[in-house]
Amino acid sequence: MNKAFTKESDAADDDDDGPSLPALPAGTRNYMTPAGYARLRAEFMQLIDVERPRMVETVSWAAKNGDRSENGDYLYGKKRLREIDRRLRFLTKRLDIAEVVDPSAHFGSEQIFFGATVTYANVRGEERTVTIKGIDESDSLAGEVSWIAPVARTLLKARVGDELQLVTPVGVERIEVVEVSYPEPSSPA
């Protein structure tokens, strides 16, 4: 049968939001810093206002060029449109349930809440500094951990000087909170 008369199956691609980020635990909120929310919102707007219309135009142009089965621009364009649409669905879901929390509200506090930058030490005296951020914005290479990560869940609500039990893959490790800081509140302009 000629490929022109068969339906391409996109069903598997449509429902899969991809391996980009882990799912939120059931019944929890999607906490984000204002900067993290702004970044996701900017990505959403870039995709919907710039990339998707450009790709639709490319696919439309390529479709007019005849045989679609061997048309690389058309095939790549359709694939890229599915990827963009998948990412837009993911971003829409995450932005809809986002709860923006400004960490500067806790400026000067010694207790650990969402958005804190925490320095802790283990029994060997090795110090590590992490910033507790949202699941969609944390970057482990930059020293940021998601608020649902084991280290963040251990640190939350603790204070400077508290000794805690951190469960790691190799066992339980004792850590002590050395320092807690928050960004300064922005002054109204």
pLDDT per residue as tens digits for the range 50-94: 999 999 998 888 888 777 777 788 888 899 999 999 999 999 999
Instruction: For residue 13, tell me if it sits in a domain.
Output: no
Kindly report, residue by residue over 125-177, the tens digit of the pLDDT.
899 999 999 998 988 899 999 999 999 999 999 999 999 999 888 889 999 99
pLDDT band at 22 (very low <50, low <70, confident <90, very high): low
Lowest mean pLDDT among 9-13, 19-23, 47-51, 182-186: 9-13
**Residue 52 shares a structural domain with residue 39:** yes
Report the C-alpha gap between 52 and 82 in whole angstroms.
10
Buried b (16+ CB within 10 A) or exposed e, 137-175: bbeeeeebbbbbbebbebbeebebeeeeebeeeeeeeeb
Final residue of a structural domain among 42, 73, 100:
100
Instruction: For residue 174, tell me if it sits in a domain.
Output: yes
**Residue 175 and residue 122 in contact, taking contact as beta carbons nearer than 8 Å:** yes
Number of domains the chain is built from: 2
Coil, helix or strand for 127?
strand
Residue whose C-alpha is closest to residue 69's, from 14, 12, 8, 10 = 8
**Confidence at residue 12, expressed as pLDDT on a 0 to 100 scale:** 42
**Which pairing describes strands 117-122 and 127-133: parallel, antiparallel, or unpaired?**
antiparallel
Report the C-alpha gap between 121 and 131 in whole angstroms.
15
- Give the pLDDT mean for 97-110: 89
**Confidence at residue 62, expressed as pLDDT on a 0 to 100 scale:** 84
Instruction: For residue 3, tell me if it sits in a domain.
Output: no
**Residue 95 shares a structural domain with residue 111:** no
- Between the CA of residue 36 and those of 5, 32, 63, 95, 133, what are the distances in Å? 45, 6, 38, 10, 8
Instruction: For residue 42, tell me if it sits in a domain.
Output: yes
**Residue 177 shares a structural domain with residue 109:** yes
Residue whose C-alpha is closest to residue 83's, from 39, 49, 59, 52 = 52
DSSP string for 73-123: HHHHHHHHHHHHHHHHHHHHHHHHTEEE--GGGGTT--B--TT-EEEEEET
**Residue 93 shares a structural domain with residue 109:** no
- Between the CA of residue 143 and those of 2, 104, 151, what are the distances in Å? 54, 19, 12
**Residue 109 shares a structural domain with residue 86:** no
